[in-house]
Copies of this chain bind each other. A is one copy, B any other.
Amino acid sequence: MKPDILLTNIGQIATVAGHSENPKTGEELGELSIIENGAIAITEGIIVAVGTNAEVLSQITQMPELPSIEFPNMLATPGFIDSHTHLAFGGSREKDFAMKLEGKTYLEILEAGGGILNTLRSTRKATQGELCSNAFSYAESMLSMGTTTIEAKSGYGLDTENEVKMLRAIEELRPKIPVDLVSTFLGAHAIPPEFEGRTDNYVDLIINEMIPAVAESKLAEFCDVFCEKGVFSVEQSRHILRAAKMSGMKLKVHADEIVQLGGAELAAELGAVSADHLLMASDDGLEAMKKAGTIATLLPTTAFSLNANYADARKMIDMGLSVALATDFNPNCANESLFFTIALACYKMKMKPREALSAVTINAAHAINRGKTHGSIEVGKRADILILDCPNPEYLTWRFGANLVHTVITNGQVVHTKLGP
């Protein structure tokens, strides 16, 4: 074997392996998935060997042209995967912040004409290029903090033209930044003002016009719905998601965030890949998700910013659900740091550091249907690898205010590094 790139003398490799075929909770992340003094070989963007230095070097018949890169005392992990973001939108929302500081809830801000409708106006006004440029700046910041795969939703256009424009902005972004982007159509994010009081008519528009337009141009791999009291009912959500499934999209659900509505049950019923938020999910709903293999994606930054309670991660992990963590980066909670998400998961949701690590890598990969290709450092997987300037997975939770990213490799290319020339 002659690799293109060889990383050697890595203090620890947290491979997060062993979760690919049958996603398990972070509990399973044991001794076996940590390799001390390890090495990784990469060919054409794919991991071709991983193990101890000796194991990897023994497989190499010809050294690469480039000198191997050494990372003593550092930690290699899979690239972080942010499996739930609203990456592209117009405008910014620092002015809503005052309302939040006065204790207003998300729904109250929404009712006061602020919140999502504010972003709706800015997004409709923006050109595709402007949306792409905004998304680029957010994605660039994410990449600098180790996020190598980003799920990005539409949902601030809320009519066919503008939903398509948002998804095209994500397409325009793809070649501009070395992150892997996964597009989700979220036309059912809110009721646009022109359909106020006529939600069923808007649902018809989504089903009859938006989904066909998105599917025809292959602009989204997933369809998501904000299934919530005052937004889309379980029945309306079911209609939309079924139509999307028929059109070839995979499914996600914003489920049981504010009110226990039955979103978790719906996600399980339809075989959704993930159900997200889940602060109020019923035990029956969670059990159904487990049976269906639906990933529980938790978004603690949103709870932090809303001063809400956190989802019960410990209960979900202990019952055997696969838990992913994501930022929920959006104009109402514009925090793109998965380090911060990990810190909240540990400090506020009592997740263990290794559970949190698998939740932003392999479990997050499963939450975007990328479990076979992304999310762990294993032979045959895409070479998305972080080198962190820290000795072990616990340390990154201890130093929770620092950006410990030393080197980022995406698709086998070094795209960011603190190494000298």
Contacts and interface: CB of A to CB of B under 8 A. Distances in A.
Contacts of A93: 398
A183 interface: no
A141 B404 CA distance: 9
Contact of A336 (B305, B327, B350, B402): B402
Contacts of A336: 401-402
A385 B305 CA distance: 29
Nearest to A301: B401
Contacts of A400: 334-335
A395 B144 CA distance: 20
6 contacts: A92-B398, A97-B398, A101-B346, A304-B347, A334-B401, A335-B402
A401 B400 CA distance: 12
Interface in A379-418: 391-392, 394-395, 397-403
Given A336-B402, A353-B97, A402-B337, A305 B347 contact: yes
A31 to B, nearest CB: 16
Specify which of A98, A337, A398 lies most central, judged by the most chain B CB atoms within 10 Å of its CB.
Answer: A398
B353 A394 contact: no
Given A101-B346, A101-B350, A304-B347, A401 B95 contact: no
A352 B93 CA distance: 15
Contact of A340 (B98, B301, B398, B401): B401
B394 A97 contact: yes
Contacts of A327: 401
Interface in A261-319: 301, 304-305, 307
Nearest to A338: B401
